[in-house]
Structure 1
């Protein structure tokens, strides 16, 4: 099973990963803020992650890692 991790302190909440994910398992947090005061991306259903790393490829802040 693949594992996607977001470095919340680097995430600026741009949402490019949300758009790029073919399984739609990423969302911007509605309740949490990072140290920059922004809503970071978070995984909503890790079991559906296929490890394609499209989210990491699209992230301009290199805030996402995907382990397969």
Structure 2
């Protein structure tokens, strides 16, 4: 696994790519994400999956992320 990547069973979040735009948070029907209190190397608060078990793998977060910080793992 790559450094600075937070992975769950369904989601992989590259925290270094995340700029905290919160678009994923807005489009997620399952309310999986929240803004972290921690910052990445750029000094930006990144998103984290707080309820990954609720993920329905709809792909909206992946599609809307302008920085390709989210990957969906359907397995």
Indicate the residue corresponding to 2:72 in structure 1: 66
- Residue 44 of structure 2 corresponds to residue 47 of structure 1: no
Summarize deviations over 1:8-67 as a string: whole Å, max 9, x none.
00000000000010011111102x100000000100111101111100101000110001
Unaligned regions of 5+ residues in structure 1, if any? none
The structure where strand makes up a greater share of residues is 2
Aligned residues: 66
1:1-68 alignment, distance < 5 Å: 3-30=10-37, 32-68=38-74
Segments ≥4 residues shifted beyond 6 Å:
none
Normalising by structure 1, report the TM-score. 0.92
* TM-score, scaled relative to structure 2: 0.84
Q: Which fold has the larger relative contact order, with Cα–Cα distance below 8 Å and residues 6 or more apart in sequence?
A: 1
